[in-house]
Amino acid sequence: MLDWLPTAFLFFLGAAILPLLPRGPARAVLLLAIPVIAAAQVYTLPLDDTLVRVTFFGFDLDLMRVDKLSRIFALIFCIAAFLGNLYAWHVKDPVQQVAALLYSGAAIGAVFAGDLITLFFYWEGTAISSVFLIWARRTEGAYFTGMRYLIIQIGSGVILLAGVVLMYVDTGSIAFQHMELGTPATWLIFIAFGMKCAFPLLHNWLQDAYPAATVTGTVILSAFTTKLAVYSLARGFAGTEILIYIGAIMTLFPIFYAVIENDLRRVLAYSLNNQLGFMVVGVGIGTELALNGTASHAFAHILYKALLFMSVGAVLFRTGTAKGSELGGLYKTMPLTMIFCVIGAASISAFPLFSGFVTKSLILSAAAHEHYYIIWGILLFASAGVFHHSGIKIPYFAFFAHDSGKRPKEAPWHMLWAMGLASFLCIAVGVYPAPLYALLPFEVDYQPYTTTHVITQLQLLFFSALAFTVLMRTGIYPPELKSVNLDFDWTYRRFLPRLIEAIGKPIGAAMQAWSDMMRDGLHAMIIRLYHSYGPQGRISQFWPTGTMVLWIGILLGVTLVVNYVS
């Protein structure tokens, strides 16, 4: 059965069965078993083949297009689903549990989609299922945040559908394959992918929604949506040069917001945006080395970003806050969570022997090999910035800064197990990357542990740490303050509504005055006509009925003659 059943359907079947099970361990075991079974199926699927094809309204839909690119993304999605569900073992809310299964399944289904119609259905499936992880917090703020998130995600799907329709009209094909920008269809599909990938000016849904989700929901959200967009770009627009510059911008601007942000989950959301930039640059370069770097970095990023969100989530779970200004000194009572957080920080900072070191370097090397030296320099600067806001700031302000006086208990055992497994994978990939390299789309001829690379990276990290220390000691580093930082979403959440209101009031008043004037004029004209032509009017006193009948007959005769002649 598993030979022909699409992997996504395993998750959908689990979502259908789960509400029928009694609350407690049975549901938790199901949530863990499904990703394990799915991963086993994905790993053993034959490559370079379409395994499941169905006909839908005359279209041949490829539900399981399996190759090395789709396989590596599907595998890491299965791993992320397992870690997220283990982390959420304590959750008894069936809404969150079902949403997590549907969301994971939709993301995996989209990865295996061989045509754009199947991709669209799964694309919208990720949007609809994931929003419940935000609404599950059951606060007024989470409700409105979820609505904004849903508008963006559904909007992305609508734009994708428009592009698919135009693509079919232009080419007669719905195949999900490499595309060239230049037609309205490809531009619409490109924009739809970009919205989900959090391109600049389209990114604020990420920082808005992820910190607003539940403690466990944020971990699951961090794994799927944006990496699905990265996969889609790699599948459809590899080698599109504009992506190099878009990705470079994505690596830069979140750094400055992350440095001044107080909410540590928002810091991680900006950091996620920054890391997506590296992957987008890799897709834009489009060489085998660059695409290997994109796929491997997505794999590593899902692990260490989930680990960081899990560690900050454990702090939030135990203390009730993720504000840097309200935390500090937690290493005393949460030492294991602190260790796991440091491992995640080392991984995202690309320390040697950690996962980020052996994946991010592929993209940097690809940029240098293709002579994008300015882009290479930007990525190097962005790497230093990552170390500042995620490698140092997150663990420092959560566990080592001023003593907040809080003495919470260590994280629950299942959270520790989830963080421990993610930490093990981060270190294992960093120490021995060969198994990961073997899963990549193309043959890997690359050695990350060269003397030059190791020394260069250690120098970068050392001077970044030195800069952070100097800024902290001199008081220049932005302190953790209770504040709201304005990003581009201010334009459509505050500025545009107020501008529309300011412009709308005089325009509305003018339109109302015009309407009143027209109504009064029409009313006056009707009154004058009535006085002249009404039963008691002046004209009716001189026009007998017979005369009126005669004129009507004449007009009817003229009309008939005109119609006959024409």
Tell me the residue length of the chain.
566
Phi-psi region of 483 (alpha: psi -120 to 50; beta: other; left: phi over 0): beta
Tell me what pLDDT residue 406 has.
86
Tell me what pLDDT residue 387 has.
85
Within a 10 A sphere around the Cβ of 207, how many other Cβ atoms? 26
Run of H or E including 319: helix 288-319
User: What is residue 440's DSSP assignment?
Assistant: S
Strand-pair category, 59-62 with 49-50: unpaired
**Beta-bridge mates of residue 53:** 62
Instruction: Round to whole Å and give the CA distance between 434 and 488.
Output: 41
Run of H or E including 60: strand 59-62
- Please report the sign of the dihedral spanned by the C-alpha atoms of residue 305, residue 310, residue 315, residue 317: positive
208, 5, 29, 215: which is closest to 108 by C-alpha? 5
Instruction: Round to whole Å and give the CA distance between 418 and 88.
Output: 9
Per-residue pLDDT in tens (0 to 9) along the chain, 566 residues? 455 689 999 999 999 999 999 888 889 899 999 999 999 999 998 887 778 888 888 888 889 999 999 999 999 999 999 999 999 999 889 999 999 999 999 999 999 999 999 999 999 999 999 999 999 998 998 999 999 999 999 999 999 999 999 999 999 899 999 999 989 999 999 999 999 999 998 888 898 899 999 999 999 999 999 999 999 999 999 999 999 999 999 999 888 888 888 889 999 999 999 999 999 999 999 999 999 999 999 999 999 999 999 999 999 999 999 888 888 889 899 999 999 999 999 999 989 999 999 999 999 999 999 999 999 999 998 988 888 778 888 998 889 887 878 888 999 999 999 999 999 999 999 999 999 999 999 998 888 998 888 898 888 888 878 877 777 777 766 666 566 666 666 676 777 777 787 787 888 788 888 888 888 887 777 777 666 655 665 655 555 555 666 667 777 777 777 666 65
Instruction: Round to whole Å and give the CA distance between 508 and 49.
Output: 61
Instruction: Round to whole Å and give the CA distance between 281 and 291.
Output: 9
Residue 470 buriedness (CB in 10 A; 0-12 / 13-18 / 19+): exposed
- How far, in Å, are 5, 88, 105, 316, 386 from residue 97 at the CA level? 22, 9, 12, 20, 32
Within a 10 A sphere around the Cβ of 121, how many other Cβ atoms? 17
- For residue 333 the two structure tokens come to 């009572």
Tell me what pLDDT residue 519 has.
81
Asked whether 287 and 367 are in contact (CB, 8 A), the reply is: no
Run of H or E including 197: none
Tell me what pLDDT residue 507 has.
83
Q: What is the 3-state secondary structure (H, E, C) of 64-112?
A: CEECHHHHHHHHHHHHHHHHHHHHCCCCCCHHHHHHHHHHHHHHHHHHH
Residue 459 buriedness (CB in 10 A; 0-12 / 13-18 / 19+): exposed
Tell me what pLDDT residue 85 has.
95
Q: Which residues contact 448 (CB under 8 A, 6 or more apart)?
A: 357, 358, 361, 362, 433
Tell me what pLDDT residue 541 has.
58
Asked whether 454 and 352 are in contact (CB, 8 A), the reply is: yes
Asked whether 465 and 392 are in contact (CB, 8 A), the reply is: yes
